[in-house]
Amino acid sequence: MLEIDGLDVRFRGVHALRSVTARIDEGAVVGLIGPNGAGKSTMVGCIAGTVRPTSGSVRWRGTRLDRLSTERIAGHGIARTYQHARLFHGHTVLDNVMTGAHRLGTHGMLRAMVRAPGLRRDEIRLRDHAEEAMAAVGVGHLAAAPVDDLTAGQQRLVAVARALSSRPGFLLLDEPAAGLTDAERDVLLGDLRRYFARHRGSALVIEHHLGFLMELVSDVIVLVRGSVLTRGAPDAVRADPAVIEAYIGV
C-alpha cells in the first residue's frame, strides 16, 4: 500500500500541497485530477522523490520514501512518466526503454546504453523486459527507430514503455494521453487496462482527458488548491456538484 500522510509542500511563496492524506491499495489504479496549479505534479514529485515535502510522509509497503533519493525510490519499484516525454535523443526506442529496465540489472544504466563488454546476460534480460513493455503499449515495431523520428504521441508511448520495463510495483503516470490522437488514446487505454489486469500493479494517474481517465481508474482523487476536495468512484466524482464547480466547470 502507498500511504501519504499530512503532506505539505511550500515553494517560497506558494503553498502547493496542504496536509494531503491518501491511501492507495495494492493493485488499485487511482486517478488524480484538479485544475491547473492544484498540486498534482507536486504530489507525484513527492512520491518519486523529485520534490521534498516540507512536512508529512510518503510510505510504500511500510518503507518511508520521502527522505530517499530518486534512485533509491526507483529501486523500491516506483516508476514514473513525466508531463514531457524526456527521452534520450539520438538513441533508439529500444535503448530508451532499456534505461527503464536498468534497476533490474546488476550494471548501471549508462553502461547498459553504451553496451559495455561483459553485460551480455544482463542485457538479454533487460532487453526481454524492454520488449515486453514495448509490446504492451504497441511500440514494439518501432524498437530500432531513433526516438527523434517518432511523432509526439509515439514518443509518449515510448515513455510509458520505459516506465513499464522496470516492472514497477507502483506506477506514476503524468498525463499519459496528452498529445495522442483519439485513435492512439483509445489504443493506449485498452493496453493499460490489459497491463493492469495482468500485472496487478498499483498506479496513480494524472490525466486531463477525463473520458480516458474515468475508464482506466477505480477511483479518483480531486485536488483543489493543494487540498483533497473529495475522492470517489469515477461516476460519483463526475456528478459531484463541488467537483463540477471546482474543476469541470472552470
| Contact residues for ligand ATP, defined by CB under 6 A | 11, 14, 16, 34, 36-42
Pick the closer one to ligand ATP by CB: 81 or 99.
81
Q: Which is nearer to ligand ATP, 13 or 117 (CB)?
A: 13
DSSP states along 48-91: HTSS--SEEEEEETTEE-TTS-HHHHHHTTEEE--SS----TTS
Give the nearest distance from C-beta 172 to ligand ATP in angstroms.
Answer: 12
Q: Please give the DSSP secondary-structure letter assigned to residue 107.
A: S
Nearest distance from residue 193's CB to ligand ATP, in Å? 24
Closest approach, Cβ 10 to ligand ATP, in A, equals 9
Report the residue count for the chain: 250
Cα angle 206, 84, 247; round to 5: 35
Contact 70, 141 (CB under 8 A): no
- Which residue, 33 or 139, is less far from ligand ATP as judged by CB? 33
Strand order in the sheet with 63-64: 14-24, 2-11, 55-60, 63-64
* DSSP-assigned beta bridge partners for residue 14: 11
CB-nearer residue toward ligand ATP: 39 or 201: 39
Between 16 and 130, whose beta carbon lies closer to ligand ATP?
16
Nearer of residues 40 and 102 to ligand ATP, judged by Cβ: 40
CB under 8 Å, gap of 24 or more: what pairs does 110-118 form? 113/88
Q: Which is nearer to ligand ATP, 41 or 165 (CB)?
A: 41
Burial 99-124 (b: 16+ CB within 10 A, else e): bbbbbebeeebebbeeeeeebeebbe
CA distance 22 to 208: 20
**Cα gap 162→134, rounded to integer Å:** 8
In the numeric block, which cell numbers belong to residue 26?
495494492
